[in-house]
Structure 1
Amino acid sequence: MRLPRLLTAAAPLVLMAACATAPAGSPSAGAAGSPAAAEQLANTSSYGKFLAGEQALNNGRSAEAAKFFDQARAGSGDTMIAERAFTAALLAGEIQKASALAPTGDQAGEASKRLGKLVVAVEALADGKGKEALALFNDPAIGFPHKPAAALLAPWAAAQAGDTEASIARPSVRGDRLVDYFGQLAQGALFERAKRYDEAETDFKAVVSVEQPTEMAVLAYGGFLERRGRRVDALALYGDALAREPDSIAVKAAQARASAGKSVPPMPTIREGAAQALLAPAATMIAAKQTQLALIYLRLVLRLDPARDEAWVMVGDLMTGGGDTESARAAYAHPKPGSMEYSTAQAKLAWTYQGADDKETALKLARAAAAGGDTDARVTLADLLRSDEQYGEAAKVLDGLIAQSKTPDWRLLYSRGVTEERLNRWPEAQADLQAALAAHPDEPELLNYLGYSWIDRGEHLKEALAMVQKAVASDPRSGAMVDSLGWAYFRMGDYKQAVEKLEEAVELEAGDPEINDHLGDAYWKVGRRDEAQFQWRRVLTLKPDDKIKASAETKLASGLGPDGPTPKLADK
């Protein structure tokens, strides 16, 4: 059975990087696939430096790309190369350099010039030049797609310039709900800064009164209430928010702080407020899969507020997706103990080492983070232990997590159920999986895991069939789930339909040894013996686990297929 990765972060995002076309007869940019090869190519000419920069950018090495493009720009004066140097500097977080390189003039592309104006304005704001920044943010030349960002940042620039009336003007971009919502949130903060508390509260109440208020809005209003000496009201707000989103680490921390009567959170500085305002467009870019622009916006956020830890975690995610593991690790290392993002960052940092097959370092980081007792850090440790097949220790960690909760999270029950199944404790595993399913009955992964377990054991086949059918309906592109459905038909003797579904599963996940093994069994049952033997031979090329390998070898050696003897595993 394929072991799911249950509780870790969502699949990484892909960092997009444009690639220039080399002239006919020129050396291929692909020759610079490694950093060493890129350095060698860069030593040839300005064009070689450009190619090295392109390859570095396409491989997610932003800082290296920025260096090569800057060298190429200095040596050639070419407008296109200058624009690439500007973009690479932004991606690498070198905002001051990027501001100096911002494209201008008739030769520069319009998209680069618009982005350049935004960058120069943010740099002015970061440098305390509010009046200059305000003029730039209000310049219509910034244009699409940066108009929302400019509109949200302009009031903060006005506040820095000392123009109170302009700072409390509500930003607006026609038809843009993001600007409407986050503009009103920022207006509340700026009203508070202007000591116009009634108007501030009107705005804060409005942004938390929507059907799904953001965590950012809850924390902003709660902080305002605490600063006004209204701790009871703040606690009620935090309690309502946690009733909706019980896993919010930030709101839990705010509730604990207010309950303990600790120091109230200070009003955000102008740069901190501006950074928070820019986070919303950055998140929107990520949601729209505009990941290069999202990374640029996050770099601008961090230029304004280098201590914005959630932005560092988001940068780490984007760098991980782009293949720049070194930069991702540097980003994840920014949140320090005591930060609300520390556990999340440490978990993601550990997974970068796990992904690089450095399991020792991954577990060392996870154990160190979990030693403080943080729940999320302990979950990460359990997940890594399970991934490394250290099921006994993983089960102990999960036992502790579940025991401390009055109503255990279904994901913890799911994870322990998987762990127990791997430890051959099926009654306990089944109980946990059923409890998890009762709490979250429509979760496709859970439906599939319990359904497949029953199917593979020949138990509750009709119920299991309905479960995996429901899972496939939710995620028809999952090869694992389609395989479960095909295997259900196989177990129920409907071999024709089993072949149909298992062929579909192999198309979706061609390299999965278990799916290929299942398809071989189904071919055998419908009399397609040569194809069955081909599938089992293929299984042996796909790095199967010991059980699947023994099964395929036995079926090939016996000549009896799945109707032959049960394979025996050698003692370990």
Structure 2
Amino acid sequence: MTRYNLTLIVLLLLLAATGGCAWRGAQPADPSTPRFAAELEPYEEAVSPACAYYHFAWGKSAELDGSLEEARYAYEQALLCDREADYVMRSLAMLLLRQGKRAEALIWVQRMVELRPEDTASRGLLANLYSAAGEPERAAAIYRDILAEDPGNPNITLLLAALYVEGERLGVARELLEELTVNQPGFMMGHYYLARLYRDFGEMDAALASYERALAVSWSPALARELAGAYELAGRYEESLRLYQQMVAEDPTDERARGLLANLYLRMNRVDDALAELAELRHYITDVGNVDLTIARILVDEGRLEEAVALLRSLLSEEPRLDAVRSLLVLAYYRMERIGEARALLEEIRPGDAGYEEAVLMLARIYHGQDDPAGAMAVLTRALADPDHRYLSFYVTLALLHAEWQDAGQGMLVFDRALRELGRTVKVLFEYALYLEKIGHSDAALAKMQEVLTLDPHDPFALNYVGYTWADRNENLEKAREYIEEAIRIKPEDGAIRDSLGWVYFRLGDYRRAVEELEQAAQILPDDPVIHDHLGDAYRKLGRITEAAAAYDRALELLDPEEDRERWLVIEEKRKELAR
């Protein structure tokens, strides 16, 4: 017999002794259809603590068993017995939140606060619910009232600061947290959240100091890892290194710390130290093969190919079907120009194997690298003959090979085949449009990308393509702006789309807005020459000649004059015009 059932029996005996509930016999036959909160209107005389406890215990037992509707029924019946039982209201409110019924939970928390206005926990819960319901001002008002009564309450201060952060009132949140950490220097969470806020402000030195104070108050591996990561972000590798080494010294079995330490060694170009740390990690981890694979990848990246091949062959002998090992071994052989061995390994991979798609593409690449495009095409054609294992990448690569052979029309036929065999999908049409753009059929490419939008009007990349093409042609500018703004809404951190938005504003003559968007794009993609070219044009329109010259210089620096000769010459001419 569980202790919950025992509690119910005791309460039943208690009920029998006290005469039971005034409404006994009113329980519905089917507790799965309970009366809900809005329907409860308890009578003044229906106040029986024993009855309330009985149903409360019943509800708790049902909730622990996962019978949430039964639990809800029992809690609501308890509140018919005692309409001021705030402990029941709390359990009912939390249950309703588990069920995703926030509005109904809010009703009961409001009643709790009405009954016990001095109860800080209930008021805090009510504020949380207001915040979740999109009423931050009501939530903030409650938090401020609590702090007026209890100025030193650290948890409420944190909640209020978090609310200000969500409302982008970062300065106010900062003041709150700075005051909190001064008044309560031993409150670790205050220092921790202040550190994160400083990071948002880009004040890394202040952030690191706050992280350090938090760690001094309460050391934990998770916090130490975050501080070490912040040190890395700030370029203070030696301090990060000492922290990881301390973590490993205190707990040699900490796999995550050892892995991060190895990564840091690699970032510091201390390859041998990284390899030694990974070798040590093998003693504390169950998935030794994964560590060995990581070691092999490092060896391949470092050009230590003989060592990598020896390790990979050993792994492959233990488990011949390890596709990741086989793929890495192929790469090592390829770089060592042991083409026959690489090709033989790739030929072993069959349709349905985990690395089949990559193997086919790699095999085609090997033939292409040996100046045998016909062999590459044969590999892809053979793969496409299998109707159960056709991949879009096979069609795209085959079409590009035809284009390289000056047979762009044959490439279009490959895409037409893809439409028949894979279907008229967004992905196929999108790749077809890009291919048409590559071979110089820009009008056809635009038409294909508009077909993409008929299938998915919110595809951000198709919206961007069409919008940018219109902007570049200086046509349909308002529609172009709508398309690109929708793409930005979906992908706000995409630098290429942000560049498109800046360029359409440029075409519309809104040069200040163009500069704002293009500067953001340049921050996201600092090595994109097209963005710097556009930015130079926008600066020039605003008369900001020095900045325009710097933008053009950066674009020229990033461009390869051989690969993109036409653009390079155009930008060079614009740069010369500024100097005249």
Would the TM-score normalized by the shorter structure come out above 0.5? Answer: no
Specify the TM-score bucket, using the shorter chain as the normaliser: 0.3 to 0.5
More helix by share: 2
Higher relative contact order (CA 8 A, sep 6+): 1
Q: Which has the larger radius of gyration?
A: 2
The alignment's TM-score, normalised by the length of structure 2, stands at: 0.41
